[in-house]
Amino acid sequence: MAATILDGKKCSEMRLEILKEEIGECGLHPHLATVIAGKDPASQMYVRMKHRACEQVGIGSVGIELPGDISTQKVLEKVRQLNADPDIDGILVQLPLPKGIDSERIIEAIDPAKDVDGYHPENMGLLFSGKPRFTSCTPTGIMTLLAEYKIPVAGARAVIAGRSIDVGRPMAALLLNADATVTICHSKTRNLADELKRADILVSAVGKAHFIRPEMVKPGATVIDVGINQLEGKLVGDVDFAAVREIAGAITPVPGGVGPMTIATLMENTLKAAKVRACSSAR
Ligand SMILES: NC(=O)c1ccc[n+]([C@@H]2O[C@H](COP(=O)([O-])OP(=O)(O)OC[C@H]3O[C@@H](n4cnc5c(N)ncnc54)[C@H](OP(=O)(O)O)[C@@H]3O)[C@@H](O)[C@H]2O)c1
Domain boundaries, the chain: 27-111, 137-259
Question: Rounded to the nearest 10 degrees, what angle do helices 168-177 and 137-148 cross at?
Answer: 40
Q: Determine if ligand 1 sits within 6 Å of the CB of residue 187.
A: yes
Q: Determine if ligand 1 sits within 6 Å of the CB of residue 139.
A: no
Q: Determine if ligand 1 sits within 6 Å of the CB of residue 254.
A: no
* Substitution candidate for ligand 1 out of 138, 228, 236, 261 with most atoms within 8 A of CB: 228
- pLDDT of res. 72: 98
Alpha carbon nearest to ligand 1 atom 25, residue = 162
- pLDDT of res. 170: 98
- pLDDT of res. 108: 98
Q: Determine if ligand 1 sits within 6 Å of the CB of residue 143.
A: no
HSE toward the beta carbon, residue 11, CA cutoff 13 A:
25
Q: Determine if ligand 1 sits within 6 Å of the CB of residue 225.
A: no
Say what percent of the chain tops pLDDT 90. Answer: 97
Q: Is residue 283 pLDDT above 90, yes or no?
A: no
Alpha-carbon gap, residue 24 to 44, rounded angstroms: 28
Closest by CA to 212, choosing from 201, 221, 202, 198, is 202
Alpha carbon nearest to ligand 1 atom 47, residue = 228
- pLDDT of res. 128: 98
Q: Is residue 69 pLDDT above 80, yes or no?
A: yes
For the chain, the average pLDDT equals 97
Q: Determine if ligand 1 sits within 6 Å of the CB of residue 8.
A: no
Taking CA 108 as the corner, what is the angle to CA 104 and CA 110, rounded to the nearest 5 degrees? 125
Q: What is the pLDDT of residues 171-229, one digit of tens each?
A: 999 999 999 999 999 999 999 999 999 999 999 999 999 999 999 999 999 999 999 99
DSSP conformation letters of 21-46: HHHHHH----EEEEEEES--HHHHHH
Range list of H helices, 110-237: 121-128, 137-148, 168-177, 192-197
| Catalytic-labelled residue, pool 89, 111, 115, 117 | 117
* Substitution candidate for ligand 1 out of 206, 208, 224 with most atoms within 8 A of CB: 206
Does CATH number 3.40.50.2000 belong to domain 137-259? no
Hey, do 27-111 and 137-259 end up sharing a CATH topology, with the first three levels equal? yes
Q: What is the Cα gyration radius of the chain? A: 19
Q: Is residue 117 pLDDT above 90, yes or no?
A: yes
Closest by CA to 272, choosing from 135, 169, 145, is 135
- pLDDT of res. 281: 74
The gap between the terminal CA atoms of the chain, to the nearest Å, is: 56
Alpha-carbon gap, residue 19 to 49, rounded angstroms: 17
Does pTM top 0.85 for this prediction?
Answer: yes
Alpha-carbon gap, residue 219 to 46, rounded angstroms: 34
Alpha carbon nearest to ligand 1 atom 31, residue = 187
| Catalytic-labelled residue, pool 7, 50, 115, 166 | 50
Residue 277 — pLDDT band, cuts 50, 70, 90? confident
For the segment 135-161, the average pLDDT, to the nearest whole number, is 98
- Residues forming beta bridges with residue 204, ordered by sequence position: 161, 225
Asked if 82 and 35 count as a contact pair (C-beta separation under 8 A), the reply is: yes
115: annotated active-site residue: no
Q: Determine if ligand 1 sits within 6 Å of the CB of residue 188.
A: yes
Q: What is the pLDDT of residues 76-113, one digit of tens each?
A: 999 999 999 999 999 999 999 999 999 999 999 999 99
94: annotated active-site residue: yes
Give me the CATH code for the 27-111 domain, please.
3.40.50.10860
